[in-house]
Amino acid sequence: MKHLKNILAGIGFLFVIGSLIYAVQSASKDDITIKNDVAKPKNVSQGYRISAIDIPEDLNFAGEKVPLGDPEVMERVDREFLVNTYWQSNALLIMKRAHKYFPIIEPILAKNGIPDDFKYLAVAESGLLNVVSPAGATGFWQIMKATGKEYGLEVNDNVDERYHLEKATQVACDYLNKWKDRFGTWTLTAAAYNAGPGGIQKYMGIQKADDYYDLLLGEETGRYVFRIMAIKEIISNPEKYGFEVENDDFYDAVPTFSVELDTAVASWADFAKEYEINYKILKRHNPWLREPHLNNSSRKKYVVEIPNKGYYGDSR
C-alpha cells in the first residue's frame, strides 16, 4: 500500500511539472505570435493601387483616327494600354532613352515627310536599343540585311550601318514613304513595316479588306499599331499614367565631334587612345564598327564620332 501511495505521488508530481512546462511553452508561443503579428509587413496593395484606364477619345495614329466604337478594337486598345502602363520598369527606361534619342530621330522623320508618330514605331521595334531579332533584323529600326543593302547601307563583318542611327533612320523613312504610296494609309504602312508588305498584301487579298482595323492579322502585327499608340500616349503624358519623372532622371546624349578617315585602321583600341578614350567608349558612339579593326581597302570615307572631353570621368 505504501508503495502504491509513493507511485501515485510520483505521478502527481510529474503531472504538475508537465503542466508547468506546457504552460510556459504555450505562453512563449503566444508571445511569439503576438510579436510576429506586430512585425508583419503591410500588404503591398495598401500602398499600390491598380485601376482600369480611360482611353483617350481622340486616339489616333499619324492623324488617322482609331474606330473606338468597335468593341473588338476597343478591347485591343485597352490591352496595350494596360500592358504598357503596368510594365512600369520598361516604360520608365523607354522614357529615359527617348529623351536621348528622339532629338536625333525627329528631324530626320520631319525632313522626309514621315509623321512624328513613327518615332514610337522604333520604340515598339527595339525599345531604342541596338538589338538583333532571331530573324536577323538589326538595330533601332530592326532592318534586315537584304533591305539594308537594297537601300544603300554597308552591311558586312567589318561595318554594319544598320547600327548607325542616322543612316538607319533615313532608310526607314525611304521604306515607309515607298509603302505609303502603295497602301494609302500610315496605319497600314506601319503594319507592313512589321509584317512585310507582301504579308499585308496577302491578308488584304484573301480577306478583301483594305483597312488595318478590318483585317484579321497574326498576333504580333495585330497588336503592333495599338502598342505603338499606347507607348506614344504613355510617354507623352507620363503623370497621367502615374509616372513621376524629373528632368534629372533622363539620359542625355554625350556631345561629340566628327573625325573623317579614308584609310584602314589596324586597331580601334589604339585609335581610341589617340583621343584619350578607350575602345568601349569608341564603340558606344560608333556601334556600326563591328570588328576591332577597319579593312577599308576601297579607301571609302568614314566619319567616326568622338565624345567631347569631360564626360567620362577618369577615362578622359
How does pLDDT run across 263-306, given as a tens digit for each residue?
999 999 999 999 999 999 999 999 999 999 999 989 999 999 99
- Label residue 120 exposed, middle or buried (CB < 10 Å: 0-12, 13-18, 19+): buried
CB burial class (10 A; 0-12, 13-18, 19+) of residue 73? Answer: middle
Q: How confident is the model at residue 310 (pLDDT cuts 50, 70, 90)?
A: confident
Phi, psi at residue 260, to the nearest 5°? -95, 140
Q: Could you give phi then psi for residue 302, rounded to 5 degrees?
A: -115, 150
Percentage of residues in the chain having pLDDT higher than 70: 84
Residue-wise pLDDT tens digits, 169-213:
999 999 999 999 999 999 999 999 999 999 999 999 999 999 999
Provide the pLDDT confidence category of residue 7 given band limits of 50, 70 and 90.
Answer: very low
CATH, domain range 60-249:
1.10.530.10
Q: CA–CA distance from 49 to each of 56, 87, 242, 245 (Å)?
A: 21, 14, 10, 19
Helix and strand numbers, DSSP H then E, in the chain: 11, 4
| pTM of the full structure | 0.83
pLDDT at residue 35, rounded to an integer: 43
Q: Each residue of 138-167: pLDDT tens digit? A: 999 999 999 999 999 999 999 999 999 999
What 3-state DSSP class applies to 131?
A: coil
Listed by start position, the domains of the chain span 60-249, 256-315
Q: Using an 8 Å Cβ cutoff, are 268 and 299 in contact?
A: no
Cell of 86: 503596368
